Amino acid sequence: MAESTWTPPVMDREIDLLSGEFYVNDPYPTYAWMRENAPAYWDSVNELWGISRYDDIVEIEKRKDIFISSDKEKGGYRPNIPADPAIIGLDDPEHSKRRNLVSRQFTPRAVTSWESHIVETCRELVDAALSHGGPIEVVTEIAAPLPAEMIGLLLGFPHEMFPKLMEWSERTIALGGGPRYLVESGIIAAMEFAEASSNLFDDKSKCPADDIMSLWTQAEVPGYTFGRDEVISDSLLLLDGGAETTRTVIARTILNLAANPDQWQLLREGADLDVAIEEFVRYVTPVHNMCRVAASDYEVGGQTIQAGQQVVLMYSSGNRDLDHFENPDVFDVTRTPNNHISFGFGTHFCMGASLARLEIKSMFQELLSRVKSISVVPGSVVEMPNAFVYGIKSAQVEFELA
């Protein structure tokens, strides 16, 4: 594309799609405006397109021949950040080769083998949270430990590392928001995790076990180099994708149920929890967006995306699209059908979706058996402004026991 000959479209509003403050200050009215007036929105601040309609997002995800994740110059799956060696930053056939190495560890059947451990861990966490009396810190006591522990177990980290994994996931996930989020604390955390992963790789090379890191040490991908750098990148991807997003759904859903006590009551009266989980995930949408780069010109939303331009697929907008969801801004634990795109779509559909669903279900089964009502301590919610994930730093809640 000869960028000098391209004239950017003029938009009626200026929206900074990489502003963390945008995402924590009720972006949903702006999403509605975008879907109605500018479904392909040119963000002149960051020089990328925001795609806000459900159908357009799915269409782009299907066109993996046109929209790629591995552009080394324009950016990969995150905006204005060069593609890294992780699975998610690859396109097929390389993507499928790498993904297939570990995907069998996340099938519904494989995940079921962890169910008793997950259920017991949820019970222990809730026991500990209730034991001290007074408000409960919903992130550190309830939402964050379980998913970090599970990814630690799957990768093969020793138990004493699990608290550190929880910390690293919170600090590194923010880096995906774009260049402005490349802060020192996140970079240091990424370096620390890389060192720990490299050491684990060495350990498992000598003494392999039944875990993903051991699998990687033995991996051979025909026609593709798979070495230490790829292992470190994929390990961080699994940590952030598996730990931080599930933590976000659990924590924010507890807040959503506190704000909608009638929905909590429906669940306590026997509403289908599997159905409710899909609404938990849709309503929160833990990952705001993913990025792709156009390999050739393509028309979407009334605009022509030029080859080489980035598009941000706005999942949290697509999940509130009136064309797909009745009363989309209503939190309804009985919503069916619920074909949300919180786990992505197509070739990059979240590999850990089955594990996330089981973790979320197990935690809320435990809470439903013991908690009559939930209230949020006023002023206790501390947001994590970021253009990548909808995380919260902390929040305090009070549980009325059943």
Q: Is 361 a residue whose pLDDT tops 80?
A: yes
77 and 88 in contact (C-beta within 8 Å)? yes
Q: Is 125 a residue whose pLDDT tops 50?
A: yes
Name the DSSP letter for residue 296: S
Q: Is 341 a residue whose pLDDT tops 70?
A: yes
Q: Is 76 a residue whose pLDDT tops 80?
A: no
SS3 298: strand
- Give 295's Cβ-side CA count (13 Å radius): 12
- Mean pLDDT lowest for which of 30-44, 54-68, 73-87, 200-214? 73-87
- Give 292's Cβ-side CA count (13 Å radius): 27
- 137-176 pLDDT, tens digit each: 999 999 999 999 999 999 999 999 999 999 999 999 988 8
Q: What's residue 223's pLDDT?
A: 66
Helical ranges in 65-161 per DSSP H = 94-102, 108-112, 115-131, 145-155
The predicted model gives 199-212 an average pLDDT of 95
Per-residue exposure over 122-140, b if at least 16 CB sit within 10 Å of its own CB, e if not: bbebbeebeeeeebbbbbb
As a whole number of angstroms, the distance between CA 210 and CA 311 comes to 39
Output the pTM of the full model. 0.95
Domains of the chain: 57-288+321-401 (1.10.630.10)
66 and 292 in contact (C-beta within 8 Å)? no
Q: What's residue 197's pLDDT?
A: 97
Q: What's residue 270's pLDDT?
A: 97
Q: What's residue 278's pLDDT?
A: 99
Confidence of residue 227 (pLDDT cuts 50, 70, 90): confident
As a whole number of angstroms, the distance between CA 129 and CA 363 comes to 13
Confidence of residue 239 (pLDDT cuts 50, 70, 90): very high
